[in-house]
Chain A
Amino acid sequence: MMERAMEQLNVQLSRLTRSLRRARTVELPEDNETAVYTLMPMVMADQHRSVSELLLNSKFDVNYAFGRVKRSLLHIAANCGSVECLVLLLKRGANPNYQDISGCTPLHLAARNGQKKCMGKLLEYNADVNICNNEGLTAIHWLAVNGRTELLHDLVQHVSNVDVEDAMGQTALHVACQNGHKTTVLCLLDSGADINRSNVSGATPLYFACSHGQRDTAQILLSHGAKYLADKNGITPLDLCVQGGYGETCEILIQHHARLFQTLIQMTQNEDVKENMLRQVLEHVSQQNDIHYQRVLTSLAEVATTNGHKLLSLSSSYEAQMKSLLRIVRIFCHVFRLGPSSPNNGNDMGYNGNKTPRSQVFKPLELLWHSLDEWLMLISTELERTRKNPSSSSSSSEIASLLLKQRESDHSGTTPKLSLLDHQIVMEAEAYVDGEDVISMTANRLSAVIQAFYMCCSCQMPQGMTSPRFIEFVCKHDEVLKCFVTRDPKIIFNHFHFLLECPELMSRFMHIIKNQPFKDRCEWFYEHLLAGQPDSDMVHRPVNESDILLIHRDSIFRSSCEMVSKSTNEKLKQGIAVRFHGEEGMGQGVVREWFDILSNEIINPDYALFTQSADGTTFQPNSNSSVNPDHLNYFQFAGQILGLALYHRQLVNIYFTRSFYKHILGIPVNYQDVSSIDPEYAKNLQWILDNDISDLGLELTFSVETDVFGAMEEVPLKPGGSSILVTQDNKAEYVQLVTELRMTRAIQPQINAFLQGFHTFIPPSLIQLFDEYELVIQLVTFVTYRNPRFYKYRRSPLSYC
């Protein structure tokens, strides 16, 4: 008895020491649940000795499933790559095919995590490789997803069917292609995977490779003879490549299926295809080599021509064909500008006439331009005919309809036909009738083609230059184009964007444009002003801390000037963020306040930059501003601020004289403008013009006396002016010169500096869309509507809102 007790004590003691030495229990608890959580950490760390020791004399069920997903310890071992524990568990009878709640076997987990050794051992113990989990995935699917080719090699020989499908009908090859694992794909193909297998939605391995832009995988599939098949919705691999903008994959597809090239080109006509993606693809294809470049462009030109001709068919949908044509031409011009891939052709911009091969790509379009030309000439003929018979449009239509009725009745009675003479009258009358119609029906369509023509002409020119061919074209069809826009001025805003880029052409249409509603011109103005900006919602975009203009309230003018000059024009165009020193506020309100108080400061008499006009409410540059040595820099700054305000639709608190607004717009001043700075003097000028001055003995010469800081100086109005007498004959010239002196010459440097600043944000070509009254409205209105100062600018304000 004693011995047995001693023995037990010894056993207990040795257990205690072992336990204490190892800092863990050395005996497995009786109940499985507690036991499994004791063992799990050891299995994870592959502490196989401890595990084996614990299992040695216990009744623990090695297949006990635990936790939320009901896994066995074998799952844990396989998942963590604890190969020794895995073998131990298997030896103790763990079921290698035990499935957890999601249907996964230990082999699935080993495959997913790439546990090579565990996989090997599991196979040794007859793990079934063909078991599907609840999603239908087998071990090879898991290997394929992660591209574990080496493991796949080992496993695939045990697999009865490499084309085993998951719940979506996807095989291992599908998932390998989707993820672009090249060697895995090759291994599966070598193992006899079905290269054209389609899943439940009809998608093939090639389809998946293309939908994810896996170029190399697509290449492998195609060279192994994969068929080009669409899915059940008719979506083809090419469609997918274009959707994703995968140029390289498209290139591979075209290499294997040459005819897809045309399909790709035809996709430019499809409204549903994203333009930027398609452009990206075509860009890539064209950049492969010179032949591709030529081919892409020539084909695009052909498609554009067909589209343009469709647009000119009156029964086609104007909206759809117009958009399609302009989209194709935009892509065409973009690709053309990029130039071919080889650098030696890079310098040849193709403006040396039609001799260079690069400009050959425009050839197919010549058909369209030819049709355009013929159409415009036809309309010119119609116009002339209408002019010769001004009454025809109303009266002849009556005649025609009368005659037509007569003819119909003749026909129905099968009596002899109309005499030849009658017939001719009918024909001619008809011609007049639809002459008007022809113009109204075609004007929009032709204008859209003109827009396309302009785009094609200018993409061959260096930036900012108008193609002589286009100028010639506009001059040739001047009359017809003017007729179009007079009938429907919207055409200007919709299609004649070229006007804004070609001042020489703009002048021809200026009078028509100026007659258009202020609102329309405003829209056009901002549309073009902001055209280059990626985001029109500027003020709200998050700003970079370094781009914030930090302004001191007590020296607002100087600190603003400093901050603005430090920033770049590009950044200021993108958006303005202002913070006042020591204040937290940011955002639109602060920007508005800044413009408001800064504009007040600009006209602060202390700076001597601007002087008040005679009525005390409007301002214009001070001719004596040079007391401030930096005055020209400040004028430039003032111009920048005004430009920025207009650019970002902010309002300022300055009213300039009408003549100064005219300077901003580039409109010449006249003697009436003098009244804003010197009304008495303006009246005198008016009097000279209204009365005969020959016998008055005024003895005026072409010179004036000016007060420069208290000293009187005589300033000639033109060379030798002080000796030229003003007479009845030359008084108009005198008035104009004297006006220019008062209004312009005296402040010319200031105006120039101001405009230099202003034009950095607002190009002169755009600002000329407005007159001086509208400029005031854009810069100052609305908030200050109640301000009495505004009344002098109010022509009919209601028409502007």
Chain B
Amino acid sequence: MSETYDFLFKFLVIGSAGTGKSCLLHQFIENKFKQDSNHTIGVEFGSRVVNVGGKTVKLQIWDTAGQERFRSVTRSYYRGAAGALLVYDITSRETYNALTNWLTDARTLASPNIVIILCGNKKDLDAEREVTFLEASRFAQENELIFLETSALTGENVEEGFLKCARTILNKIDSGELDPERMGSGIQYGDASLRQLRQPRDTTTQNKQQCNC
């Protein structure tokens, strides 16, 4: 029947228009680069079940439009997100400069405990780089963000970005910093934990496979 998982996390992908948010999501879900990508209209949706630290987690990912005219619509999706990928384009300083605004939005509209990963996308276009790694990592440090440079084209660091975010949230649950039962936490329990009892071997082997990549 339906897929089983231990947790469900609600994720957001935010950032200025044309930074490659939809391509990141596509790469993460389909393992392919999305050619001829159009502007996202409103909000798109995707999901994938991953294994993180021995737990199966379903990521419910909301990919928002970057265009200003959709801003009010996309904002209405922020509430109750457990994690977010904040994306800028390393070849466009404009998108980097806008980060502060996006960050404020996310922290005020989503849950205050939201785990945010900063993604400098289009890493493959190093020749046209306008934002250095160092500069961005400093920004990340100041704002307590995890930072990665990614490429939706080659797939570099894409998986890592999503998994790192999920892992951080799981750690916070383990340490008690996050309470999944609280409303609006963006986290839900699945019923897999009950079924695991039956097939503990299967799950561990799967984990190993997943961890290798």
Task: Please give the residue numbers on chain A whose beta carbons come within 8 Å of chain B beta carbons, in ascending order.
Answer: 227-230, 234-236, 239, 257, 259-260, 262-263, 266, 270, 298, 306, 309-310, 312-316, 364, 367, 370-371, 374-375, 377-378, 381-382, 414, 430-431, 434, 437-438, 441-442
Contacts and interface: CB of A to CB of B under 8 A. Distances in A.
Contact of A367 (B73, B79, B127): B79
B28 to A, nearest CB: 15
A371 B72 CA distance: 8
A306 B60 contact: yes
Nearest to A305: B80
B45 A313 contact: yes
A371 B73 contact: yes
Contacts of A374: 72-73, 75-76
B33 interface: no
A309 B73 CA distance: 11
A266 B193 contact: no
Interface of B: 1-2, 39, 41-45, 60, 62, 67, 69-70, 72-73, 75-77, 79-80, 127, 183, 188-191, 193-195, 197-198
Contacts of B191: 257, 259-260, 262-263
Given A266-B2, A310-B45, A314-B42, A228 B76 contact: no
B128 to A, nearest CB: 8
A434 B1 contact: no
24 contacts: A229-B195, A230-B195, A235-B1, A239-B1, A257-B194, A259-B193, A263-B190, A270-B1, A270-B2, A306-B60, A309-B62, A310-B45, A312-B43, A315-B45, A367-B76, A367-B79, A370-B76, A371-B76, A371-B77, A374-B72, A375-B73, A377-B72, A431-B69, A434-B41
Contacts of B77: 309, 371
A431 B117 CA distance: 30
B42 A381 contact: no
B190 to A, nearest CB: 7
A259 B194 contact: yes
Contacts of B194: 228, 257, 259-260
Contact of A315 (B44, B60, B67, B127): B44
Contact of B1 (A236, A257, A442): A236
A364 B185 CA distance: 12
A229 B41 contact: no
Identify which of B67, B76, B127 gathers the most chain A CB atoms within 10 Å of its CB: B76
Contacts of A316: 45
A227 B75 contact: no
Given A309-B77, A371-B76, A434 B42 contact: no
A518 to B, nearest CB: 36
A384 B72 CA distance: 17
A247 B174 CA distance: 34
Contacts of B70: 378
Contacts of B73: 371, 374-375, 378
A17 B39 CA distance: 112
Nearest to B197: A227
Given A235-B1, A259-B189, A259-B193, A227 B44 contact: no
Contacts of B69: 378, 381-382, 431
A315 B1 CA distance: 23
A260 B191 CA distance: 6
Given A234-B1, A309-B62, A314 B41 contact: yes
A438 B188 contact: no
B187 to A, nearest CB: 11
Contacts of B45: 309-310, 313, 315-316
A270 B77 CA distance: 23
A506 B76 CA distance: 30
Given A260-B191, A310-B45, A314-B44, A434 B39 contact: yes
Q: Which 7 A-B pairs have the closest CB atoms?
A: A313-B45, A371-B76, A263-B191, A374-B73, A374-B72, A370-B76, A313-B44
Nearest to B75: A374
A227 B72 contact: no
Nearest to A260: B191
Contact of A313 (B42, B80, B197): B42
